[in-house]
Structure 1
Amino acid sequence: MQLSEAWLREWVDPPIDTQTLTDQLSMAGLEVDAVAPVAPDFSGVFIGQVLSIDPHPNAAKLRLCQVETGTGEPLQIICGAANVAAQQRVPVAVIGARLPGDFKIKKAKLRGVESHGMICSAAELGLAEASEGILVLPEDAPLGHDFRTWMQLDDHSIDLDLTPDRGDCLSLAGVAREVGVLNRLPLSGPNFHPIAPESEERWPLSVTATAACPQYLCRLVRDLDPNARTPMWMQERLRRCGLRAISPVVDVTNYVLLELGQPLHAFDAERLQGPIQVRFAHEGEPLTLLNEEQIKLHPDALVIADDSGAIALAGIMGGASTAVTEHTRHILFESAFFAPLAIAGRARRYGLHTDASHRFERGVDPELQARAIERATALLLAITGGTPGPLVTARAEAEQPQRPPILLRLERIPRLLGITLEAAEVEDILTRLGLTLTNTDDGWRVQVPGHRFDLRREADLIAELGRIYGYDRIPPSRAQSSTHMSVPREADFDLDQARAQLIARGYFEAITYSFISPSLHALIEPEAQALALSNPISTELSSMRSSLWPGLLQTAQQNLARQQTRVRLFETGLRFRIQPGGELEQEPMLAALAIGDLFPEQWGHSAQPVDFYHLKSDLEALLTLTGRRQEISLTPATHPALHPGQCARIERAGTELGWIGMLHPSLAKQLDLPAASYLFELRLHQLADGRIPAFSPLSKFPSIRRDLALLVASDTPYAAIEASACAAAGDWLRDLLVFDVYAGENIGSERKSIALGLILQAKSQTLTDQDVEDAVARVLARLEQDLGAKLRS
């Protein structure tokens, strides 16, 4: 919200300077984001009148102007502006004047003719970014007066950064009300009088969506002067509040919006077809907006319509078909109260955000509509003339916002604020805020005015007391409360240890958005249903992630684009999946990605690209933290995002813990990533039930090693060999080593040789040769039975 300090002081003028005023507003919760002068510094500019114009003898585009400034003889000034004309009142920079940019006016010769000053444009005075000609002033501008003083340019534009709950301060009147409360001053804004109708013509009106629009007012105004122009004082006030003057009708609606906070709209009455209808849109109903954007409406969109269809998106933006133009002579004013929930989110759905939607979403005073339309009518008639008709009102009493009284207990105030306030002071503050109080046995019953949508419960009222009393006046105190320390189970999976483990292995932690693009979701998990956002930040962030991989892959893209060829990333966070019953599951996950060489570039190791087994080693280091590493296995499987030949499902007792593998080649190509990109992902809640490491007494008896060279099928995983050998050897097996793997000549193309070292040791005896031979025999028999393994001869 941007406003002019001078305009604000017309409503309420506390005896404090600008800095104190802005500090006061910030301390009251209306944070002042910036304070800037409304015009740059300049001096020596006066209001003059062009007496006559003659052509320049040596330049076709220049003219000699005789300008009266009220200080003596007329000045001869050379001007090249096309819009300069005799009898105009204009700003004149005399010799010695200083303009913005430290530009000093001196006597000069242009094409051999002397010029004693400059007729200024708005841009030259810093009042506009660009100008097509000189600034023409009203005919009643006082000749000879200092232009800066007459325009009140020693003013400041105050930019407020309001929180969403303070929609009541999205207007000059709202901010003035706050300043008056803080300084115990009454408001002295302009008087508002109802406009007496000069015709009995009523525009027919029908409201069917009464819950969304409990009150709608309109008024027909005929016979406007199309040649009328917005007065300079109104243009200047709009400029200081960040708006550009367009035309009298539009400027009046914007002016009332800034002044009172009530959005208004004006239709070109000659372009309306039939009665005004306030209803919900039909599915797919078309509408061309004022910005020429064509949209298809959803059935929950509230619209203003006539017999031709929708002509405005209610509370957001008008339609192009009934827009006011420079030729408009008859208008229909609209002033309505739209329920905040009926407008909230609708503008963003169509990629819009307007001043009107910003206010209606936060709540507009439901008693403000008639006052605003009367004010707008009075302003417009003063500028353009015209014949106003009577107000036409549609009001659904049963749908009006209900504001039940709030009970406020005196003893509750010190418990929340930390200070004790006298009853008289409480009543004074709340009364100044416009609240109505009725005494009760332990406090008050408080009725909240219509413009304060944010006051709904007792705590809100107490917060208001603290805000107006002054946060800086509340002494600091130490809060006291009982605490309960929760001790995590030692067997739980420690995420901090997991992070430290990955960082120690060369990974960097990434934090990415939980929102991803639907196209990326379809590439990685085409079979999972994506949760679409109702109001996404953008179309590229319109779905909730069902995996952490999309964020890591996009981060890898950005790193590779910046010449970081070795990428190691991990992330922890939630994934979001819709279950078959329609419920949303939010599951904590841990994912990692590895691309590039195994080691950073160095002289001690030759370049070696990372592969599946390197990533598997990092995964196993994490799984070791659970204390149940031996219970977890990797089973070959297929995943849409992973290479079918380098993909495994991580399991424990048949339960899926996650996935690991190389990125699918086609997906790597689409994402412009290296083919050798490896990922894994773990479901953290499945790892929570860990096992605490425990000491096992060391055996005092010697160990014995037996080596076996086995022939197995080439697709036999080592995990299956390990499981069979451990089950057969029993408690005597202390360790199982793989010290050679061979595939090639003499053993066939469909087999491979694996050399195992079995280390056997008993806790209560020395193993005999027969004991060892029996154990080895059991292992060989089990391997042959389970996997068809044979001793290699």
Structure 2
Amino acid sequence: MLFSEEWLRHYINPDLDSKQLCEKLTMGGLEVEGMDSIAPDFHGVVVAQVLTVDQHPNADKLHVCTVDTGKGEPIQIVCGAPNVAPGVKVPCALDGAVLPGNFKIKKSKLRGEVSNGMLCSSRELGIDEDHRGLWILPADAPVGEDIRKYAHLDGKKIEIKLTPNRGDALSILGIARDLRAMTGAEMTTPDFSPVEPTCHCTKEVKVEAPELCGRFSGRIIAGLNAKAPTPQWMKDRLERSGQRSISALVDISNYVMLELGRPTHFFDLDKINGPLVVRWGKEGEKAELLNGKTVDIDPYFGVIADDNGVEAIAGIMGGEGTSISLDTKNIFVEAAFWWPTSIQGRCRKLNFSTDAAYRFERGVDFASNPEHLEYITKLVVEICGTPETKIGPVVDQVIALPETKQVKMRADRCRKVIGIDITDDQMEQCLKNLNFPYVKEDSVFTVTAPSYRFDIEIEEDLIEEVARLIGYEALPEVPPLARIQMKEQPEDTRTRHQLRCKLAGLGFQELINYSFVEDKADTLFTEKEDVIKVLNPIASQMNVMRTQMISGLIDNLVFNLNRKAERVNIFEYGRVFWKNDEIKGSDSSVQGVEQPVHFAALSYGAAAPAQWGQEKRLVDFYDLKGVLEAFAFPLKLRFEPYKHPALHPGRTAKVMLNGEQIGFIGEIHPKILQQYNLPHAPVVFEVDATALMQTDVPSYKGIPKQQPILRDLAVWVDDKVPVQELLDAVKKASKTDPRLLSLASFDLFDVYKPKKEDTEMQGKKSLAFAIKLQANQEALEENEIEEAVAALVETLEAKGASLRK
């Protein structure tokens, strides 16, 4: 919010200099980002009047002017501005003047003609960027007066940075209200007294969408002179607030928006066809806007329409069809209350923003529409009025206004949150300074939020108001005091941070990707059929919430390969988002959205850095499988064949823990390698983080006193039988068969498949297992060893295996 200090002091003038004023605003919650002079430093420039203008004898584009500077005899100045003319008053830099940029003016000759100074544009004085010609001053400007004094160029421009909840401070009146509360200085307000109608002319307006428009006020003003000049005081205030003067009617609308925080719109009454209708847009409609763009309209947008179609996008911008011009005679002035939720997000979809939408998104006062309309009427009639001007009555339709909020603030709670001893009387005075209606009972203030303060909703909002009026600079710097209590860490639980550190310790670099991804990429890598779309994506390629994390890692891989990386080992820890109707909405969840936390990792390139000790080979499925097993340790994972749309058939497994799938692992599918132009296949895994957090509590086992007994056992089995099936059978038998109580381990160490010449054993495979038997106290007898081996053979034969001889 940019404004001139002079404008603010017109309504409230506390006994503070410019620097103190900015400090007071900042400490009161309205952070001042900058304070600059209206014009940079220059001197020697006065108000002058051009007396005569003659063509330069030696230059087509120059003029020889006689200028009265109020310093005695008129002087001659050569000027090339296209708008120089006899009788105009302009700034004149005299001989010896210094303009911005240390540009010194001195007597000189231009094409043979003497020039005793320089007639200036506003750009040359550093006021704005207008370089179309000389700065034409009002006819009543006193000749000879210093231009800095006349145009108040020594004043300041102040820019404040507002938090999104303070929409009420997006106006001079709103800032003045806050300053009054902070300083107690007297504040004046604009004249809102009613303007008596001089005719009965009205315009029919139908509000068909109460959830879009809660209040619609308007009036007709006819017989105007739209070509009337904007008063200099209004132009100065607008330009010093970052607004370029356009025409009197447009300037009035912008002025009221900046002064009162009330965006309005002027329709050319003669261009409106039929009644105005406030409704939601329809599919296929289009609107030609004042910025020259033609946009598509759908039911997401609120509109004001007539029989010709859409004439304005509600709360955002008017249409070209009913726009005012210098030929406009009759206008319809609209001042509406648009619900903030019906405006929010619409500008982003249109790819532009407006000052009006910026205010309506945050909330505009819904109780002062008629008052502000009266003030606008006075300005319009005062500036553009003619003897034929007719003023219609204000038509005010109240459809559905926000409920008046009552918020309670406990005095003890206020003192505790702020951290200093504030009396009840001080809190009461703060509420009085803010003009907040309240009722006090037993040190509890029940406050009714004003119609212009949309941010007062909970107790903490009122506490914040008290704190900022007390002054943030008055709050002592006291370190927080609290009891330190060490929380016990369950022995069977690992934190997610510990898991991240463990995976980083295995040689992987952690990355953080956006949770928004492109729908095409997510479809390529996901098993989910229905994704969650983002209504207002921050970029076109981020239009859905990710259902997996592999696509992001692939993008990271491509980025690194394009920068000559050879080995890439990366992982990410984060959430994925699935549709699930069983999920209930709460403070930590979204209705219908499941948000599990996953670990995903990718490995690509050589299995080890180049070295002389081993031959170079590419990382494969088993390398990453080993990493995943080390990552999950002491949990024991199982891997079973699996099909995944993004992974290579036959080189993919689902990750099992305690009989449940917690993720998958495998090589990227060849078709995806082609799409991403990858020379080699990266190996990836994605697992549920929560499942890996629970571990078994370590338990003590005594060290056996006897040496282990080692045996080997080889069997033939059908080639289609998984080895894991045999291992599971042995593990189950070891818990139920007393002969296997001494079994310490049973591990596969060799696999043999017969050659083609051995036709008898085709379709079979030979599996060799290492058996380790060990008793804790007494040595095993030979018969106990033979019984244990026999029990193992029986278990394997039950699964179709036969002893290899």
Letter in 2 for 1:431: K
Task: Return the alpha-carbon distance in structure 2 between the equivalents of residues 327 and 673 of structure 1.
Answer: 65
> What is the CA-CA distance between 1:768 and the residue it aligns to?
5.3
Aligned-residue CA RMSD in angstroms?
3.1
Task: Return the alpha-carbon distance in structure 2 between the equivalents of residues 787 and 350 of structure 1.
Answer: 70
Task: Return the alpha-carbon distance in structure 2 between the equivalents of residues 736 and 51 of structure 1.
Answer: 113
Task: Return the alpha-carbon distance in structure 2 between the equivalents of residues 676 and 753 of structure 1.
Answer: 31
Task: Return the alpha-carbon distance in structure 1 between the equivalents of residues 596 and 766 of structure 2.
Answer: 42
1:639 aligns with 2:644: yes
SS in 1 for 2:3: strand
Task: Return the alpha-carbon distance in structure 2 between the equivalents of residues 48 and 747 of structure 1.
Answer: 115
Q: 1:714 to 1:219 in 2, by over 3 A?
A: same
> What is the CA-CA distance between 1:138 and the residue it aligns to?
2.3
> What is the CA-CA distance between 1:785 and the residue it aligns to?
5.3
SS in 2 for 1:452: coil
Report the equivalent of 2:557.
556
Q: 1:420 to 1:698 in 2, by over 3 A?
A: closer
Q: Contact 1:215/1:393 (CA < 8 Å) preserved in 2?
A: no
Query: Following superposition of structure 1 onto structure 2, how do residues 300-379 of structure 1 map, counting pairs within 5 Å?
Result: 301-379=301-379
Aligned residues: 787
Task: Return the alpha-carbon distance in structure 1 between the equivalents of residues 410 and 714 of structure 2.
Answer: 86
Provide the TM-score with structure 1 as the length reference.
Answer: 0.91
Report the equivalent of 1:449.
450
1:244 aligns with 2:244: yes
2:622 pairs, out of 594, 613, 637, with 613
Q: Contact 2:596/2:688 (CA < 8 Å) preserved in 1?
A: yes
Report the equivalent of 1:463.
464
2:635 pairs, out of 624, 628, 631, with 628
Query: Following superposition of structure 1 onto structure 2, how do residues 199-348 of structure 1 map, counting pairs within 5 Å?
Result: 199-299=199-299, 301-348=301-348
Residues 596-605 or 739-748, more deviating: 739-748
Residues 414-423 or 194-203, more deviating: 414-423
Report the equivalent of 1:100.
100
Letter in 2 for 1:696: K
Task: Return the alpha-carbon distance in structure 2 between the equivalents of residues 252 and 558 of structure 1.
Answer: 53
Residues 434-443 or 47-56, more deviating: 434-443
Query: Following superposition of structure 1 onto structure 2, how do residues 761-780 of structure 1 map, counting pairs within 5 Å?
Result: 761-767=774-780, 771-772=784-785, 775-776=788-789, 778-779=791-792
Query: Following superposition of structure 1 onto structure 2, how do residues 51-62 of structure 1 map, counting pairs within 5 Å?
Result: 51-62=51-62
Residues 222-231 or 99-108, more deviating: 222-231
Q: Contact 1:663/1:679 (CA < 8 Å) preserved in 2?
A: yes
Report the equivalent of 1:590.
599
Report the equivalent of 2:161.
161
Letter in 1 for 2:707: P
Q: Contact 2:216/2:398 (CA < 8 Å) preserved in 1?
A: no
Letter in 2 for 1:10: H
1:661 pairs, out of 657, 666, 686, with 666
> What is the CA-CA distance between 1:628 and the residue it aligns to?
3.0
Q: Contact 2:190/2:375 (CA < 8 Å) preserved in 1?
A: no
Q: Contact 2:201/2:393 (CA < 8 Å) preserved in 1?
A: no
SS in 2 for 1:44: strand
Residues 279-288 or 146-155, more deviating: 279-288
Task: Return the alpha-carbon distance in structure 2 between the equivalents of residues 130 and 142 of structure 1.
Answer: 23
Q: 1:548 to 1:224 in 2, by over 3 A?
A: same
Report the equivalent of 2:509.
508
Q: Contact 2:226/2:325 (CA < 8 Å) preserved in 1?
A: no
Task: Return the alpha-carbon distance in structure 2 between the equivalents of residues 439 and 580 of structure 1.
Answer: 46
Letter in 1 for 2:383: I
Task: Return the alpha-carbon distance in structure 2 between the equivalents of residues 292 and 99 of structure 1.
Answer: 38
> What is the CA-CA distance between 1:618 and the residue it aligns to?
0.9
Cα-to-partner distance string for 1:62-105 (whole Å, 9 max, x where unaligned):
22222222222333222222232222222222222222222222
Letter in 2 for 1:31: E
> What is the CA-CA distance between 1:551 and the residue it aligns to?
3.0
Letter in 2 for 1:649: K
1:391 aligns with 2:393: yes
Cα-to-partner distance string for 1:436-471 (whole Å, 9 max, x where unaligned):
345546555544432222234444333322221223
SS in 2 for 1:609: coil
> What is the CA-CA distance between 1:511 and the residue it aligns to?
1.9
Q: Contact 1:724/1:779 (CA < 8 Å) preserved in 2?
A: no
Letter in 2 for 1:734: A
Report the equivalent of 1:530.
531
> What is the CA-CA distance between 1:622 and the residue it aligns to?
1.3
SS in 1 for 2:661: strand
Task: Return the alpha-carbon distance in structure 1 between the equivalents of residues 594 and 552 of structure 2.
Answer: 19
SS in 2 for 1:540: coil
The percentage of aligned residue pairs carrying the same residue is 38
Q: 1:739 to 1:13 in 2, by over 3 A?
A: same
Task: Return the alpha-carbon distance in structure 2 between the equivalents of residues 773 and 441 of structure 1.
Answer: 88
Letter in 2 for 1:155: G
Report the equivalent of 2:737.
none
Residues 554-563 or 40-49, more deviating: 554-563
SS in 1 for 2:165: coil
Letter in 1 for 2:432: T
Q: 1:481 to 1:647 in 2, by over 3 A?
A: same
> What is the CA-CA distance between 1:715 and the residue it aligns to?
6.9
> What is the CA-CA distance between 1:163 and the residue it aligns to?
1.6
Q: Contact 1:207/1:279 (CA < 8 Å) preserved in 2?
A: yes
Task: Return the alpha-carbon distance in structure 2 between the equivalents of residues 755 and 256 of structure 1.
Answer: 90
Report the equivalent of 2:588.
none
1:701 aligns with 2:703: no
> What is the CA-CA distance between 1:263 and the residue it aligns to?
0.8
> What is the CA-CA distance between 1:483 and the residue it aligns to?
6.9
Letter in 1 for 2:489: P
Task: Return the alpha-carbon distance in structure 2 between the equivalents of residues 694 and 747 of structure 1.
Answer: 52
Task: Return the alpha-carbon distance in structure 1 between the equivalents of residues 505 and 49 of structure 2.
Answer: 80
SS in 1 for 2:662: strand
Q: 1:447 to 1:619 in 2, by over 3 A?
A: closer
Query: Following superposition of structure 1 onto structure 2, how do residues 705-744 of structure 1 map, counting pairs within 5 Å?
Result: 705-707=710-712, 719-720=724-725, 722-724=727-729, 726=731, 730-736=740-746
Task: Return the alpha-carbon distance in structure 1 between the equivalents of residues 441 and 92 of structure 2.
Answer: 67
Task: Return the alpha-carbon distance in structure 1 between the equivalents of residues 614 and 91 of structure 2.
Answer: 79
Task: Return the alpha-carbon distance in structure 1 between the equivalents of residues 175 and 564 of structure 2.
Answer: 53
Task: Return the alpha-carbon distance in structure 2 between the equivalents of residues 673 and 236 of structure 1.
Answer: 62
Task: Return the alpha-carbon distance in structure 2 between the equivalents of residues 197 and 66 of structure 1.
Answer: 50
Task: Return the alpha-carbon distance in structure 1 between the equivalents of residues 784 and 447 of structure 2.
Answer: 91
Unaligned runs of 5+ in 2: 584-591, 735-739
Report the equivalent of 1:191.
191
Q: Contact 1:217/1:391 (CA < 8 Å) preserved in 2?
A: no
> What is the CA-CA distance between 1:142 and the residue it aligns to?
2.1
Cα-to-partner distance string for 1:455-504 (whole Å, 9 max, x where unaligned):
34444333322221223334455666667654332112442332222112
SS in 1 for 2:361: helix
Cα-to-partner distance string for 1:263-289 (whole Å, 9 max, x where unaligned):
111112222111122233345543333
Residues 516-525 or 178-187, more deviating: 516-525
Letter in 2 for 1:33: E
Cα-to-partner distance string for 1:158-204 (whole Å, 9 max, x where unaligned):
22221222221110111011112211111134434433334332122
> What is the CA-CA distance between 1:257 and the residue it aligns to?
0.5
Report the equivalent of 2:689.
684
> What is the CA-CA distance between 1:20 and the residue it aligns to?
1.7
SS in 2 for 1:305: strand
> What is the CA-CA distance between 1:693 and the residue it aligns to?
2.4
Report the equivalent of 1:651.
656
Task: Return the alpha-carbon distance in structure 1 between the equivalents of residues 71 and 612 of structure 2.
Answer: 87
Report the equivalent of 2:589.
none
Task: Return the alpha-carbon distance in structure 1 between the equivalents of residues 537 and 164 of structure 2.
Answer: 19
Provide the TM-score with structure 2 as the length reference.
Answer: 0.89
Q: Contact 2:519/2:543 (CA < 8 Å) preserved in 1?
A: yes
Task: Return the alpha-carbon distance in structure 2 between the equivalents of residues 130 and 595 of structure 1.
Answer: 59
Unaligned runs of 5+ in 1: none
> What is the CA-CA distance between 1:648 and the residue it aligns to?
1.1
Task: Return the alpha-carbon distance in structure 1 between the equivalents of residues 79 and 420 of structure 2.
Answer: 68
